Structures are given as structure tokens and as C-alpha cells.
Homo-oligomer: A and B are copies of this chain.
Amino acid sequence: MLKIPTDRYFSPDPAQRQIARDLHAQIADLPLVCPHGHVDPRLFADPDYRFGSPTETLIIPDHYVFRMLYSQGISLESLGIPKVNGTKVEADHRKIWQTFADHFYLFRGTPTGSWLSHEFQTVFGVEEKLTSENAQQVYDQIDSQLKSEAFRPRQLHERFNIEVLCTTDMATDTLEHHQAIRDSGWSSKILPTFRPDDVVLLDQPSWLHNIERLGELTGEPIAHYASYIKAIETRREFFRHLGAKATDHAAINAFTGKLSKTDAETIFQRALQGKADEFDVHLFRGHMLIELARMSAEDGLVMQLHIGSSRNHNEKLFAEFGPDKGCDIPLATEFTNNLRPLLNEFGTDQRLSMILFTLDESTYARELAPLVGHYPALKLGPPWWFHDSLHGMRRYFDQVMETAGIYNTAGFNDDTRAYPSIPARHDVWRRASADWIASLVVRGMIDDDDAQAMMRALVYDLAKQAYRLD
């Protein structure tokens, strides 16, 4: 029988476990704070929105799931992942589900495995471990749940006890779904986040198109760097108007460096002519990060930096299936030298709250903890992506906290695409936090009062403070 244990994720040591259990009990009923993720706001715009089949809900949109199957030789076509050119892929959702169940053993010991078990049991009420034999029966059970009233996203949202959820939206997004949510009078807080990568990264295939669109949206064609900057500021204002608290920026590395106005204009013009080269892309990205920090200092939007992913590493797969298909591979990352120009301009500016994320754990203790432990504008985000796991969290606590202190970190965010996995992800963080704090108590490094304050901070307060959600 599938039965996620009450004391899951805690140390087996009885003394530490008891403390972790008590700490966890104190915060178990606190609402979830979700300041960063990739949930589609459409789920909440239409009060009658229904999820699709189990396969559509749990497999096809979740690259954590299908990349593991792919790594063992199962084609994305056979998993129903849509192709860029529209060629037919497997459409039999029960067949895909069966393939998934047949290979469910691949997730043993992985966070995806833990999340799925947690979801199956606590969200869908499935009482058995998924096997080849019971695959279709489990499918039926989940399918009937998904079709029920209780599984409309708004209902689930309330059941999940989510206090606030921020989505991630392109600079050129009209935010119509966010507007619809507001207009509907639904009281839950669903907030947009301004992610302008599509107009900042000159090598985005649709950059030119996005710039045109940006001009349309702001009512002024963008022919020069100055109007480009103004358009971005206008869009930020629009996002803020619809409740945005933060921006988000992906960058392959942490390079920052200010260009002169002339150089910025020159590169911008080359880009408009489709002639920007790799070095232009690099310089412009590094320049814009400083510009965006300036804007954040001025308008108060919290600035998130997600650094170090080599996107679409598998070229053939990217060509066939597009981005976000589980073939983004991290790179070694350097922050100390690269962020210095930005930090020397805005690192001590208390109007700015900048949250850093890394995929290179060797920078935790070496660069990031010392940086956030010094610069008032900086906070360190939680373990990201591949590191959003029990052991990833343990390494994070181990390598970050002694130098940074917990108050220079930003609590947790789930970065979810698959909506029903949100509670499972927070569950890991909450329990990992409880266990880590318990490990300090049991070693006599903090007392019970400290432990209780740290517990609440890590699972609730810090995220709200860092993202200015109060």
C-alpha cells in the first residue's frame, strides 16, 4: 500500500526526529506562500476551468517526469509531447499512462518520485503504489477526481491553502487572465511577475517580433534604445498596476557591466537589423541587468536572477519539440567578479531587493553566502530546479546558512509547472527545514526559542519579506 509516512524526510535519530516533528507541527497549518512559479493564470481566470486527463495534467506538462523516461530510451512522441511542426504524436492517454506506470521504478529515490507519491495520496486519494498492473485503475481514479467539482483549480487552490501565488509572464503578455481573475472578484491573490527575457535577450528567436509587440502595447514604435527603455518601464508600471511584486530574469551567466549610451544604442540598432552577434548579446544582457536593477530600485519590484542554465542543450530535440523539454543543463557559474559592477552601483541601495538563484552549488559557500551576507540589497533564493530536493536542501542549509544567516535568504518557492505538485514541494521544504533546525538544537547550537522563530521564518516570513508581499 502506498502510504507516505508521517515522519517522512526526518532524521532517523529519535532525539532529532522528535524535535523536528514538534517544530513541523507548529507550522503545519500555515498557508503556502508561492512567490515564484510557472502556473498558468488561465487556471484561475475561468471559474469553470477543468484539468484534462491524468496524462495531460501530470505527464505532458512536466519535464521533470518525461525527461527521466526519455533518458531511458522512451521517445517523447510516445509520451504525447507535442511537436513543433504539428506531426502526430501518441494521443492515447491511457497508453501513455501505462508506459509511465511501467517505468515508475525509474523515479525511486528521486524528488519527482516523492512528489508524485505525495500527490497521488494526498491530492487524489490513491491508496496503492502505481504499478503496471494497477495503472488503468489508478488512471480511472485520478481521472474521475479531475472531472469533479472539487478539482477545479480555484477549489484546489483553497484546499491547498495558498495565501499568494505569483505566475511568470512575458513582458509582452497582456495579463488578460490576471485581469479576469481580478474582475471575477475571487479573493485569492494570484499575481503576475514581469519576466522580460523575451525582449532583453537579443538571441531569442522572436526578439524582433517581441520588440514590435512591445511598441504596440506601449503605444509607441521602438526605434531607439531610449524608447526601448521607456517601453520596458511602461510595461513594469502596467504589471505593478495588476499587482506584480517582482521581476524575473534568466541569464546563462552572471555577467554585468554598464555600456555607454552610445554603445547601448549601437548594439540595439544592430539587433534591430538582425545583426547582433554573440558578443553583442552578452554585453547587452550584462548592461540590461544593471538597467533593470536601477528600475527595480526606482519602482520597488523585487528582482530575481536565475543564473546558469544552458538551455536546449539537445539541438535535435529542441528543433522537434521546442524549449523546456528537460534538456537544459547547468553550467559552472561565477558571481564574485561578474556581479561586482551591478553591486557596486546598487548592492547597498536599500530600495532594491534582489534574489539570486544558482544551479552551481559550488558557489553556495564560496560566493553566494558571502555576497548575501554582506550586501544589503541581496538575498539568496532557495535551492533551484535540480536542487529542489531533500538532499539539495540539506546541502543548501549546510553550505549557505552559517555564513549567510537565514535572514539573508528568501525562504522557499516551488517554481512549479505542475499545479497539483505544489503542496508536495512545500512539504519537502517544511520538513527539511524542521529537520535542519532540529539538527542545530540537538547539537546545542540554538535553543528552543530560536528554533521556533527560525522555523516560522523559513517556511513563511522570509518569503513574504523578501518578495515584499505584505
Contact = CB atoms under 8 A, between A and B. Distances in A.
Interface string A1-29: 00011011111110110000000000000
Given A8-B444, A445-B8, A109 B402 contact: yes
Given A12-B15, A67-B374, A374-B67, A365 B336 contact: no
B375 A9 contact: no
A109 B407 CA distance: 11
A87 interface: no
Interface stretch (A51-59, A69-77, A135-143, A168-176): A69-77
Interface string A365-401: 1110111111110100000001101111011001101
Contacts of A334: 331-332
Given A71-B376, A402-B392, A316 B109 contact: no
Contacts of A376: 70-73
Interface in A335-349: 336-337, 340, 343-344, 347-348
A350 B129 contact: no
A310 interface: yes
A469 B13 CA distance: 41
A149 interface: no
A411 B408 CA distance: 32
A330 B366 contact: yes
Contacts of A328: 370
A380 to B, nearest CB: 11
B445 A344 contact: no
B402 A391 contact: yes
B373 A68 contact: yes
Contacts of A277: none
Interface-centre pick from A111, A129, A330 (highest chain B CB count, 10 A): A330
Contacts of A374: 67, 70-71, 313-314, 326-327, 329
Interface string A266-286: 000000000000000000000
B401 A398 contact: no
A442 interface: yes
A5 to B, nearest CB: 3
Count of this chain's copies in the oligomeric assembly: 3
B370 A366 contact: no
**Interface size classification for chain A:** 35 or more
A329 B316 CA distance: 37
B359 A105 contact: no
A426 to B, nearest CB: 17
Interface string A442-460: 1111110010011000000
A191 to B, nearest CB: 25
A305 interface: no
A103 B144 CA distance: 53
A403 interface: yes
B366 A361 contact: yes
Nearest to A1: B447
A66 to B, nearest CB: 10
Given A336-B310, A366-B332, A442-B12, A407 B7 contact: no
A403 B386 contact: yes
Nearest to A376: B73
A339 to B, nearest CB: 9
Contacts of A366: 330-332, 359-362
A331 B327 contact: no
Nearest to A392: B402
Contacts of A408: 71-72
A118 to B, nearest CB: 11
A390 B445 contact: yes
B405 A107 contact: yes
13 contacts: A11-B443, A12-B13, A67-B374, A71-B378, A105-B453, A109-B437, A109-B454, A327-B374, A329-B374, A365-B386, A386-B402, A391-B402, A395-B399
Given A71-B373, A108-B405, A317-B348, 16 more contacts: A8-B443, A71-B378, A71-B405, A108-B446, A108-B454, A109-B446, A313-B340, A313-B374, A314-B375, A327-B374, A329-B367, A330-B367, A332-B362, A369-B386, A386-B402, A390-B402
